[in-house]
A and B are shown apart, each in its own frame.
Chain A
Amino acid sequence: MITLLKNARVIDPAHHKDGVLEDIYIRDGRIIAKPAETEKIDQAHELNGKIVMAGAIDMHSHIGGGKVNIARMLLPEYQDMRRMQEPEAHICGANCSHHATPNTTDTGMRYIEMGYTAAFEPAILAVNARQAHMEMGDTPMIDKGGYAMLGNDDYLLRLLSQNADQKTINDYVAWTLHATQTIGIKVVNPGGISAFKFNERRQDLDQQHSHYHITPRRILQALSRAVNDLGIAKPLHVHCNNLGVAGNFQTTLDTMGASDGLPMHLTHIQFHSYGTEGDKKFSSAAANIAEAINQNKHITADVGQILFGQTVTASGDNMMQHLNAKVANPKKSVIMDIECDAGCGVVPFKYRDENYVNALQWAIGLEVFLSVDDPWRVFLTTDHPNGAPFTTYPHLIRLLMDKSFRNDAFDKLNLDAQAMSNLKALDREYTLYEIATMTRSAPAKLIGLQDRGHLGVGAAADITVYTDQPDKEAMFSKPDLVFKDGELVVKEGKVIKVVWGATHTAKPAFDLGVEKDIKQYFDRYHTMQMQHFKISNDHIAEDGRNHVINHVQGA
C-alpha cells in the first residue's frame, strides 16, 4: 500500500530543505522514492503547500519509571475526571491526569496530538529499568527509549576508587546498556547522590567524595571516555553538580572541560546557569553559559525551560531535592536512597511570575535559547515535568519565534527580575527551519536514530503536517495530520487510531568477561540475583504491544 502526501512544503534540516514543495511517498511504514507510474497510490492527501516536518523527538522527558509514578501517587489533587472519546476511551479509564503527572495513556496521546512521535526518558535507574519499560510499554502512540544512570552506583565508584582500567569501565557501561535496554548513559550530580548517603550535602566538581576519594570530574572523564570508546552515538548525558544553586554557572563551565574534549550533553542547563550578582545574590549567567556552548563544539545542551504554573519536579538528584523540599508547593515531597544504585527526589513546585527567582529562571532559559548560535546543539525541553509539562511546548515555541509575544510576557514579570535580565535586548526570532532542527533533525542525530527525525528516502514515516499561521502556539498545538510509521493516527489534532510504538536501544559489543565480577558483586552485596537485573527483549515485548529496535553503534 502506498500513501502519497501531495504538495508538501517540506522543512527537513537533515537534508537542508527549507520549504521545498515536494511529494512524499510512503510504503510499509517507510518513506520511499517516487514509485513507477504503474504502481497504485492507495491513499493520497492533497496538502496544498502545508508545512511538513518529520515527527518531533523529545530527547529529555520524564515519561516513565519510579519517580514519575511516585509523583502521580503523591499528587491526587492533580487528577480530575474527564469523559474520554474514542479511541482514547478504549484504553484509558475516566481519570485524566494534570499534564504534570499524566498517566501513561495521557502521555502518549498528548505527545502525538502535538506531532511528537518519540520521547526519551532521561533518568532510568538501572535497577528500576524494568519498571520504566513497563510504563513506557503502556504509553501508546509514540516511540520510547531511555538513558541509564551511572556515576552514583557503588559498583562504578568502587571500580574508580580501585583505579580500574578504562576497558573494565567500558565493558561495565556496555553491559549496563544491554541489561537495562537503554540507548544512552546519564550521570546525575556525579558522585553527589552517593555522597548524600554518607551525609554530605554538596558535591563540587573537584571535591573528593568523602568515602571513595575520587572526584566528580574523574567520574565524568571515565564515563564520557567509555561512551566514546564504545562508539555510542548519544554523548554522555550530564546533569551537573550543584543544580539550582546560585553561582552554579562556574561548576557548569568547569564541567564542560571535564571530558577532555569528548562529546558531552549538559541537560536542563537553565537550572545550572545561575550567578550570584545583585541584591538577592541570584542572577542570570546565561550569557556566560551560551558563550561557552558556542565556543565548545563538543558540548550540546537542552534548556529545561521553566514556564509558570503548577508542576512537580522529579529528579534522581536526591541530594539537591532534599534541599528543595523546603520550598515544596504543596508542602510534601518524597526523597529516596535506592539500592546502592542511585536515588530520587520528587518535589512539587509552583513557578510564579511574581516571584523574583522564578521570573529570572524563566528569563534565563530563554536567554540561553536565544544566545546559543547553533540550533543543532541546543534542544527544546522543559525537562518535563520539572520546568513545565511537555504540553507547554507550543507556547515555548511561540516565545522563541515571536519577539513581541515574548516581550509582552517579560513585561509581566517581577520587576526586580526584569532589571536583572537582558532578554529584551535579544532580537532573535527562531525560524521554522531552526525549530525543525532543534526538535527533529538534531535530537535524532544526537541519539543516533538514523532513520528518524528526517524525511529522506528510507526514513520511518513519522510525519507531521501543520498549517502555517501567525500564531505559532496554535500552529504547533494542533497539527492537521500526524503519521506514525506510515499510519495516519491524528487528524485535526485528534487521535483517530491507537498504535503503540517501539523502544529504541543501543547494544554495543563488549567483553562478557566483565560479568564475572559483576555477578560476584551482586552475590556479595545485593538483594537480588544479577540474572534478574537483566531485562530481555521478551520482557519488553510482553503483553504484545511493544518491541525493541536496536541501533547499531559506532557506524
Chain B
Amino acid sequence: MVNTEQTMHACPACGLLCDDISADTIAKQQFSCGKAAKFYARSTSLNVQPQVNGQAVSLAQAVKAAAELLQQAQSPLIAGSSTDVHGARALVSLANQNGADMTHLNADSTLRNMKVLQHRGWQTTTLTEVRNRADVILMIGTDVVTHNARFFERVVWVDEAMFTEPSARQIIYLGGDKLKTQAGVSPDGRAPQMIACASEHLPEVVSALRALIMNKPVAGENIAGVPVSTLAALAETLKAAKYATLVWVSKDLHFEHAELTIENITETVVALNQKSRAMGLSLGGSDGDTSVNYAHTWLNGVIIDAPHWQDHDAVVWVNSFSPEAMPPAEVSPVIVLGAADSKFTTPPAVFIPVATPGLDTGGQQFRVDGSVTLPLTAAKPSDVPTLSKVVALIEQAIANEGKQA
C-alpha cells in the first residue's frame, strides 16, 4: 500500500507521540506544545565531529577508543538510553556483548509503575478508548499537561466521540502540587472539580478513596484535610460513571513508597470493575522510556534495571531526546553516543554524535499507553550515523580485538 496523504510526523518529545505534525507546522514553528517546539527547533546537523577527551577525532578513532574503554571495563553500564526501539535493540545487543547492565533516564518512574505491575497487575486503558468513552476523568496528583501538554486537546476536549459527549466530561483533580488546571476547564467554560491535598498526603487520601469504593468504613471526618464526605461523593461519582478513567503520572508521585499509592489507584479500578466500568491510565513518559523497557523485556525476558552508579567502572550514555542530560558527575569514564547538540560541562572520554530518531532519521516509538507504536520520520534528515550503526561499529571493533587477543 502506498501512503498518498501528506506525511505527518509523530513527535517523540513526550509519551503522547502526537502524530499530526506537518512540515508546515515545523517550518512556521506553530506548536501548541512547548516540548514539541523545543524538539523541532533543535539543530543536529552541525557537522559535529566525534571527540576523544574533548579533542575532535575521526569516527574510526572514536569507535576504537570506545571499544577499548568497554573492553577494559569490568562492569559497564548502559544508561540514559534515550532512544527508540531500534536504538534499544542495538543497546541490548551491546550490553549482551559486554556483560553490561542497562538502565534508562526515567528508570525511577518506570520502575515505580513496574513494582505495581509485578506485585498485583492492573486494569488499564489507552488514549483512543478514553477519547471515545471516558465520562469521568480523575487525575490523581498530577495535571498531566506538565508532561503531556496536548492531552486535553487531543483526547479530552475533542469535537466528537463515539460513546460520550466530550464537552460534558467531568474532570476532577485529586491532590498534587502546583497544578496547572486551566486545561481542565471545558470548552464551554465549566471549571473542573478540585480536591486539594498536598502530594505527600496522597497515600492516605487515595487509600481512603479505595476503602470507600470497596464499601469499607472510613473513620473520622477528614483525611489529611480532605472531608470524608467529599471522598464519599467522589466514590459515588466514580461508581456511577459509564467509563471512569483514573489517571496518574508516575514521575509526579515521587514520595517514598509511592508504588503503594499507585497500587491503591489501580486496585480502586479493580474494585470499580466488579460492578461498573473504570480503567487506569498511566501517562507521562519521555525519552523512549516505554520503547526501551518493552524492547529490553522481549529481548531479555526482564525489565530494565535501576542504575547503581557506584557498581560500574564505565558508562555508555545515550541522550538522543535530552541533549542536555548527562550521568552523575562522579561517574567515569563516560562514552556518549549522543545527540549532536549534546551539552557538556566537562568533556566525556568519548563522544560520538548519533542521529536523533524523529529528527535526523526514522524509527519506531511506543506511546506511553503501551499498545500503540508509531513510525518516526526524519523531520530534518541528516547524515549523522544512527545509534544502531555506531553500536555495530563498536561491537565489530571489540570482536576484532577479541580475535587478535
Contacts and interface: CB of A to CB of B under 8 A. Distances in A.
B374 A528 contact: yes
A101 B129 contact: no
A93 B92 contact: yes
B371 A127 contact: yes
Contact of A532 (B118, B132, B155, B374): B374
Nearest to A139: B298
Contact of B123 (A334, A512, A526, A531): A334
B302 A69 contact: no
Interface of B is mostly: mixed
A332 B267 CA distance: 11
A103 B277 contact: no
A532 B375 contact: yes
Given A92-B96, A322-B273, A79 B125 contact: no
Given A333-B121, A336-B125, A340-B162, A532 B371 contact: no
Interface stretch (A128-136, A445-453, A488-496): A128-136
A93 B126 contact: no
B299 A128 contact: no
Contacts of B216: none
Contacts of B154: 527
B22 to A, nearest CB: 11
Interface string B263-299: 0000000000100110100000000000000110111
Given A197-B133, A528-B374, A529-B8, A134 B301 contact: no
Chain B CB within 10 Å, residue with most, of A102, A105, A125, A531: A531
A226 to B, nearest CB: 18
Interface string A219-241: 00000000000000000000000
A78 B114 CA distance: 15
A549 B126 CA distance: 32
A196 B133 CA distance: 12
17 contacts: A69-B298, A91-B96, A93-B95, A103-B297, A134-B298, A197-B243, A199-B276, A335-B273, A336-B124, A338-B126, A339-B372, A340-B132, A525-B132, A527-B131, A528-B372, A532-B374, A543-B89
4 A-B pairs with the lowest CB-CB distances in the bound complex, closest first: A97-B301, A103-B301, A332-B121, A130-B373
Given A134-B298, A178-B1, A527-B372, 20 more contacts: A74-B121, A76-B302, A91-B93, A93-B95, A93-B300, A103-B300, A131-B366, A131-B373, A154-B132, A332-B119, A334-B124, A525-B131, A527-B127, A527-B131, A531-B3, A531-B7, A531-B8, A532-B374, A532-B375, A539-B375
Interface of B: 1, 3, 5, 7-8, 10, 17, 19-20, 85-86, 89, 92-93, 95-96, 99, 114, 117-129, 131-133, 154-155, 159-163, 242-243, 273, 276-277, 279, 294-295, 297-303, 364, 366, 370-375, 388
Interface of A: 64, 66, 68-69, 72-76, 78-79, 91-97, 101-106, 125, 127-128, 130-131, 134-135, 138, 154, 178-179, 196-199, 211, 322, 325, 328, 331-341, 346, 512, 519, 524-532, 534, 536, 539, 542-543
